[in-house]
Amino acid sequence: MDHGKAKNVFAWVLSILLALAFLLAGVPKLLAITSWIKKFTHWGYPRWSLALIGLLEVGGAILLLVPRFAVYGVGVLIAIMFGAAYTHVANREGISVVRPLIFLCFLIIVGWLRRSQART
C-alpha cells in the first residue's frame, strides 16, 4: 500500500471512530437525557446549552464523514473539546480533563490529514 492510500485509510478509520464517539455523545444531549441535564446544571450552564452542544456534536460528527467538509467538522468539535476541557478544569474535576484533550489530539490529526481535501 502506498503512502497516500495508507494516509487516506487512516483518515477514514479515525474519522469514522470520532464520528461514532461524537454521535454517541451528542444524541443523548439532544434527547435531554436526565444525567446530562444534571451535569449541565451542576456546571452552571443554561438548559438550552445542552441542546446546542448536542447539535454541534452531531453536526460535527456528520461533517467528519464528508472529506471535503471534514475540516469544518474538526473546527466545530475542537471548539467543543476546548469548552469541555475548560469545564472540567473550572469545576476541579481532575482527570476528567484528559478525555477532551485526547479527542482534541485526534481531531487535529484528522484536520491535518483532510486539509488538502478541503481546498478542492
Query: Buried (b) or exposed (e) across 55-86, using 16+ Cβ within 10 A?
Result: ebbbbbbebbbebeebbbbbebbbebbeebbe
Residue 32 vs residues 35, 38, 40, 55: alpha-carbon distances, Å: 8, 10, 10, 11
Q: What is the pTM of this model?
A: 0.92
Q: What is the pLDDT of residue 62?
A: 98
pLDDT tens across 61-120, in order? 999 999 999 999 999 999 999 999 999 999 999 999 999 999 999 999 999 999 877 665
Task: For residue 32, count other CB atoms closer than 10 A to its CB.
Answer: 13
